Structure 1
Amino acid sequence: MFFGPGRELSFLEEEQVQSPLRSMAKRFFTNKIAMTGLIVFLSCLLLVIIGPIFLPLDLSYSDATQQNVPPTRKLAAVPEALKSDLRKLSVGTTYGIGCDNAGQVYTWGYTKITDKIDLAEIPDEVREAKIVDVAAGYDHVLALSDKGRLYVWGNTRLSQADIPQKAQKKDIILIGASTQYSAALTKEGYLYLWGNGNTADIKVKKDYQNHIVKFALSDYAYVCLMDDGSIQYTGYNATTSYAQIPEGLESGVIDIAASSTTFAAVTDDGEVAVWGNVTNGENEVPEFDGEIREIYGGRYHYTALLDTGKIISWGDNHFGQAKVPDHLAEGEEQIKDIYTGYYQNYAVNEDGKIFTWGLKGYLMGTDNLGRDVLTRLVNGGRVTMTVGAVSVIIMLLIGITIGGLSGYFGGRLDVVLMRIAEVISGIPFLPFALILSSVVSSSVSLTQRMYLIMVVLGILSWPPLARLVRAQILAVREQEYVMAAKAMGVKELTIVFKHILPNILSVVLVNITLDFATCMLTESSLSYLGFGIIPPTPTWGNMLTGANNSVVIQQYWWRWVFPALIFGICTIAINLMGDGLRDAVDPKSEER
């Protein structure tokens, strides 16, 4: 290839030079179907080997805000009509909502809360009103009209729509929405809170009313910035970590924000204080030049605008929400507004251009626990292929050893070993595996269960291979090269495994290829039935478990289509390889 074409060989010379292995390889590589199977299988193999490097798996991860999101990359795609005339914007779990200067409301992203509730279905009374502000909550939306009227739509089963009557008659200057509750602040500094009070402290002490300048809502509590520059927890549950406000925030506070479980405050000297249930590095404020002018909170991260025009973010960066684009981090844009929520950030410059970073979507959607299907598919494939490969290796070692000894020595040893093989073959694998799994399920860990499946698969799958090896050795043990080795005094075990085995390896290779696919299918069958490797460890089998639910089949198709598709493609590719190897080993098989 690299030194030019070699000398052409005549037909007779070619037949003399080519070894059986070389002839087999030539026939295999000229088989287009087999080569297609090989390429597809290698692609799947590279995907499950290299993929986990770029898509690491956290077995403990789950997120209720990201459940059953369909495949999309447009969660942060602001409508074109809104980009040029944005007035207000708010970020929800997997959706965004905004209003333009004409008072029209827009939604984007995945807006379905339940099978029957869709936030994109904006009420007619909201469409007819001129909306001047919007707030996105966990499962509902709050909007404010130019006449001071508040509107709520979405999930309203937990009092999210029970707006206090007094709030409808006041001059509202700020609204907010969080996890099943909302808030509105009047010009006089009076705060109204309503919604699900079972999970959040949404009461306000009267002593603080008419002195509130701004509020920040977390999932379970809220804090207020007062007119004297202090931070106060104005609720009644003073024992929570949210009420333990750090020292130094008695005055001089210029802005506040909240994440899902923490609060942050910025003082007039540029210091940032974070308190609450810190779990994702929300308190690890990076070094920066200048002073923070404004601060905004996402689900587990914060974003801040400096007086130099630069933007910084910190906290959880799972979706890139804390990685600010370079031109924004360097202050190259004149940013006037920032909107942050959950896993997304939107920055608007003086010209009205919108920049976004954070969660764009999922190529293959998410499952019922909010986990990325693509990440689990890649890591699950590695587990499934590992189980199949190790099982085949165990089967190979046992099958070749027993088949080789039985075929070469014969006699009583042959009878005993073949009777053992028949006993093993008579054990129904799936029922045996189900019973074994039920017996040991409470006493073994997930890792031990995976090892157990590998061993059981290997131990119960070797008899067909042993019979094949025995038959092949019986056919060649009387040939001249074997007799010559015996005459030279070569040890019998050396003859079996060093001289005979290499000559039957091609036939064994075909069988191994097909058994690999069979072991993968068996493991997946066990996992699908719930008796194999169980979640949270993913396999292609247990990812298909949801397919036995009609709701999943009809409404959440991506949860089973993608695992089934790649599993089917991979096993078909392996079988095509096996058929190609069989035809290459025995060219006459194509004629039969």
Structure 2
Amino acid sequence: MAGECEANRRQMGGFAALRMDGTVESWGRQIGGNCLPMQLSQLKKVKSLCASDYAFAALKEDGTVVTWGNAASGGDSSWVKEQLQEVVDISSTSRAFAALTRDGHVVTWGDRDFGGDSRAVQTQLEQVTALCGSGSAFAALRKDRSVVTWGDPKAGGDSSLVEMQLQDVYQLHSNEKAFCAVLHSGGCVIWGDPLCGGRSWRVTWALKDVQQVASTAFAFAAILQNGQVVTWGEKHCGGDSSSVQHLLKEVQQVRGSRQAFAAIVAGGKVVTWGHPNAGGSCDYNVAQQLQNVHSVDALNVY
């Protein structure tokens, strides 16, 4: 498998591997782990892979899309096949997909309650430049730097309360239940489940000059221009960094697992917080070895 890129998803039900020659191999015991022979024959000249919980979508070099797995979770895209042309990017929720076309339009399929039905906002989905998915909702960034959302209202599919603030947006980030938009001014606009990072009243005053944003399943962490970190959301998932805040200085990078964060600080040292079983703490021997680190990544096994 050397030189290959693998894509997997939350339920550990299957894997899809994209080979360097643009072909795909799929395996696993549960839904999504196996392609039908007809689908497998189409999986050539593949550019990238995207996955929901129970299905995969392959973006081919010619801009078309091949899907397989559970039909209700996006494995069947036949009803939008004619629209899936000149696709440049694909995003997903846990049971639906959204494809961005070259002309800035968005095509969705899968479970309607998880963002698979975008008809209510379709007229607004023009000149889109980027897509982002939470567990059951989507957000689209438009060329005019405004944002359009749809899907589960409780997971960020309804941004009406912050609509007036969603102007001049630079980046979109998400966790399972909420979204965070970074503005060109360096501020942040947050919406979704209040308990899972969809509200930041405790730290709103500190969210200025934001450079990077990372997330766990139910929390966010933002690196500021001065190298400090601001966290919010479910405290057991990394939303509370108070116990290590004195160590979070000159932070260069933050990565999130499902329930914990790890940050690289000055000197290449690593600081962790969140749920201990998810990497939120490491024993003394491991901590001593975490020196001169230049990057860190995480598993997100649901």
Of Structure 1 and Structure 2, the greater helix share is in: 1
Which residue pairs with 1:269 in the alignment?
185
Q: Give 1:228 deviation, angstroms.
A: 0.6
Cα distance change, pair 309–171 in 1 and its aligned pair in 2 (3 A): farther
Cα distance change, pair 230–160 in 1 and its aligned pair in 2 (3 A): same
Paired residues for 1:455-534 under 5 Å:
none
Cα distance change, pair 307–121 in 1 and its aligned pair in 2 (3 A): farther
CA distance in 1, matches of 2:224, 2:89: 23
Give yes or no for the alignment of 1:300 onto 2:218.
yes
Q: Give 1:129 deviation, angstroms.
A: 0.8
When the two structures are superposed, what TM-score results if normalisation uses the length of structure 1? 0.36
Q: Give 1:356 deviation, angstroms.
A: 3.0
CA distance in 2, matches of 1:106, 1:354: 29
Cα distance change, pair 159–256 in 1 and its aligned pair in 2 (3 A): closer
Which residue pairs with 2:83 in the alignment?
167
- 2:18 aligned partner, one-letter code: C
Give yes or no for the alignment of 1:121 onto 2:40.
no
Alpha carbon RMSD of aligned pairs, Å?
4.3
* Deviation digits for residues 380-408 of structure 1 (CA, Å, limit 9, x no counterpart): xxxxxxxxxxxxxxxxxxxxxxxxxxxxx
Q: Give 1:324 deviation, angstroms.
A: 3.4
Give yes or no for the alignment of 1:135 onto 2:21.
no
Cα distance change, pair 227–296 in 1 and its aligned pair in 2 (3 A): farther
| Greater shift in the superposed pair: 142-151 or 215-224 | 215-224
Which residue pairs with 2:2 in the alignment?
81
Larger Rg: 1
Cα distance change, pair 213–325 in 1 and its aligned pair in 2 (3 A): same
**Contact residue 7 and residue 17 of structure 2 kept, 8 A:** yes
SS in 2 for 1:138: coil
CA distance in 2, matches of 1:257, 1:172: 21
Please list every run of 5 or more consecutive structure 1 residues that lacks an aligned counterpart in the other structure: 1-79, 334-342, 345-352, 362-592
Which residue pairs with 1:464 in the alignment?
none
- 2:34 aligned partner, one-letter code: E
Which residue pairs with 1:356 in the alignment?
297
* Deviation digits for residues 121-173 of structure 1 (CA, Å, limit 9, x no counterpart): 345544751221111212111111112221212211466413412233x2111
- 1:270 aligned partner, one-letter code: G
Percent identity, aligned pairs only, is 17
- 1:156 aligned partner, one-letter code: A
CA distance in 1, matches of 2:166, 2:207: 24
Cα distance change, pair 312–188 in 1 and its aligned pair in 2 (3 A): farther
* Deviation digits for residues 481-504 of structure 1 (CA, Å, limit 9, x no counterpart): xxxxxxxxxxxxxxxxxxxxxxxx
Cα distance change, pair 262–194 in 1 and its aligned pair in 2 (3 A): same
Cα distance change, pair 208–247 in 1 and its aligned pair in 2 (3 A): closer
Which residue pairs with 2:146 in the alignment?
230
Give yes or no for the alignment of 1:92 onto 2:10.
yes
CA distance in 2, matches of 1:256, 1:154: 28
Which residue pairs with 2:249 in the alignment?
none
SS in 2 for 1:233: strand
SS in 1 for 2:176: coil
Give the number of the structure with larger relative contact order, counting CA–CA contacts within 8 Å between residues 6 or more apart: 1
When the two structures are superposed, what TM-score results if normalisation uses the length of structure 2? 0.64
CA distance in 2, matches of 1:105, 1:305: 36
Cα distance change, pair 312–99 in 1 and its aligned pair in 2 (3 A): farther
Q: Give 1:183 deviation, angstroms.
A: 0.9
Q: Give 1:249 deviation, angstroms.
A: 3.1
CA distance in 1, matches of 2:267, 2:55: 34
Please list every run of 5 or more consecutive structure 2 residues that lacks an aligned counterpart in the other structure: 239-256, 270-277, 280-293
Cα distance change, pair 210–282 in 1 and its aligned pair in 2 (3 A): closer
CA distance in 2, matches of 1:242, 1:186: 23
SS in 2 for 1:215: strand
- 1:184 aligned partner, one-letter code: A
Q: Give 1:262 deviation, angstroms.
A: 1.6
**Contact residue 313 and residue 323 of structure 1 kept, 8 A:** no
Cα distance change, pair 282–172 in 1 and its aligned pair in 2 (3 A): same
Which residue pairs with 1:103 in the alignment?
22
Cα distance change, pair 318–256 in 1 and its aligned pair in 2 (3 A): closer
